[in-house]
Amino acid sequence: MTLVGLGIASLVVSWGLLKGKGWAPIITLMISIIAIIFAIISLLGSQDLIHIISVIIYGVIIYYMFTDKVKLFFGKVKE
Rg over alpha carbons for the chain, rounded to the nearest Å, is 15
Provide the whole-model pTM.
0.82
SS3 assignment, position 64: helix
Residue 79 has pLDDT above 70, yes or no: no
Of 60, 69, 68, nearest to 29 (Cα)? 60
Mean pLDDT calculated for residue range 42-57: 85
Residue 3 has pLDDT above 80, yes or no: no
Residue 78 has pLDDT above 80, yes or no: no
